[in-house]
């Protein structure tokens, strides 16, 4: 079983943009509850089916499988809830960690969140200067939540 251990932060400014590699993502949810998530994602020219368990602390079970892009596109068009998540993921290696900065579009326009996956829950991080408030424990910033409650509809941001 794979375990995803990550922390999430809001992003301040755009000093991170200069050296980040970018990939466009489109993703949707077949199932999205507190206990489990089944997601379909197209990332650039690749596609994945991902199953995640309930978050406990900053970790959760994660299983991810490559699937044909045509199958993913069909699932996104016919099986997944609306609205879907569209974003550009920018990847930036800093030290021994890779920061993933998600810049959202559509109904989540205006939201930029950085995530960093860790080898274990108490792994120390040196946050770059463009990292803002930590939102790891705030479920509103999970993509599955954003697909049901888009950022543009939030009264308090």
Which residues carry out catalysis? 29
What is the spatial distance between Cα 68 and Cα 5, in angstroms, rounded to a whole number? 27
Residues 10, 113 contacting (CB under 8 angstroms): yes
**Greatest Cα pair distance in the chain:** 42
* DSSP letters spanning 69-84: HHHHHHHHHHTS-SSP
């Amino acid at each position: 079983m794979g375990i995803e251990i990550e922390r999430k932060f809001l992003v301040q400014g755009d000093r991170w943009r200069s050296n980040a590699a970018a990939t466009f993502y489109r993703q949707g949810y077949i199932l999205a509850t507190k206990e489990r998530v089944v997601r379909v994602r197209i990332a650039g020219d690749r596609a994945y089916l991902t199953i995640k368990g309930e978050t406990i602390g900053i970790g959760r079970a994660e299983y991810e499988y490559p699937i044909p892009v045509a199958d993913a596109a069909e699932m996104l068009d016919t099986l997944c809830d609306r609205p879907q998540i569209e974003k550009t993921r920018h990847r930036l290696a800093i030290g021994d960690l890779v920061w993933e900065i998600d810049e959202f579009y559509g109904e989540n326009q205006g939201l930029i969140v950085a995530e960093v996956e860790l080898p274990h829950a108490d792994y120390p991080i040196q946050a770059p200067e463009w990292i803002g408030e930590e939102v790891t424990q705030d479920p509103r910033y999970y993509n599955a939540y954003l697909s049901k409650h888009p950022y543009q509809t939030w009264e308090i941001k």
